[in-house]
Amino acid sequence: MTVIAWHGATKTLAADKRMTCHGYSVTVTKIFRRNDGALVGGSGVSDSVTEMIDWFLKGALASDFPQSCRSEENNRLLAITTDGRVWMYIRNPIPIEIREPFFAIGGGCDFALTAMHLGKNAIEAVRIACELDTACGNGVDYLQLNPADNEVIQPHDWKYRVQLLSTDTKTVYCRTDEEVFDIINVRGIGNYSVHDRDGIFPYKFLKW
């Protein structure tokens, strides 16, 4: 009932936002950044996995590991250290190191892993899992391991890809027509190119 995906090449952790409560679907946050910059996300039984996340955010001291979480087989904690190492915690404070270029946990992990094997990033992989697994959904959250790297990460709901043409060519992802129009007003005709998800240039922007 969760999908959390890590993509090493883009240093991005992404997760869906769906939790079920008394038969209802509610929106929650499943991934977090610790004070030192490490990232963490959890899947499993909501109350106990929340304890595990809180334990990690407070420093992950082995002596402080919640005893109630030792008996829960379905809980998984996916943690990314500041140097990019990937750890998975299950029922104790001793993690398993995952030495893969990408990884995923939760009920939708098979869909996410397949998507990343086919070249998708973490955000796109979670979106695909949400489309295919009815237990995942309600939007996508994502965190970059090192935001200062200024890597371009695609928002999960982008509609247009705008390439700004200059000496330092940059790509911007826009959610609405209005966002693209704002760029055109500033940059001027000929200083950008626009494509939608299918790679097609929307001719309406030539008339703006």
Q: Band the pLDDT of 126: cuts 50, 70, 90.
A: very high
Cβ-contact 41, 14 below 8 angstroms = no
What pTM value is reported for the model? 0.72
Mind listing the pLDDT tens digit for each residue in 60-90?
999 999 998 988 888 999 999 999 999 999 9
Are the C-beta atoms of 128 and 120 separated by less than 8 Å? Answer: yes
- State the DSSP H helix or E strand holding residue 185, giving kind and residue range, or none if neither: helix 177-187
**What pLDDT is stored for residue 101 in this prediction?**
94
Q: How many Cβ atoms from other residues are within 10 Å of residue 85's Cβ?
A: 13
* Assigned CATH for 4-146: 3.60.20.10
Sequence ranges of the domains in the chain: 4-146, 160-207
In the predicted model, is pLDDT for residue 183 greater than 60? yes
Percent of the chain whose pLDDT exceeds 90:
54
Q: Which of 142, 143, 179 is nearest to 164 (CA)?
A: 179
- Counting every residue written for the chain, the total comes to 208
Residue type, 190: G
3-class secondary structure per residue, 25-90: EEECCCEEECCCCCEEEEECCHHHHHHHHHHHHCCCCHHHCCHHHCCCCCCEEEEECCCCCEEEEC
Query: One-letter amino acid identity for 11?
Result: K
C-alpha 149/C-alpha 159 separation (Å) is 24
Q: How far is it, in rounded angstroms, from Cα 42 to Cα 159? A: 29
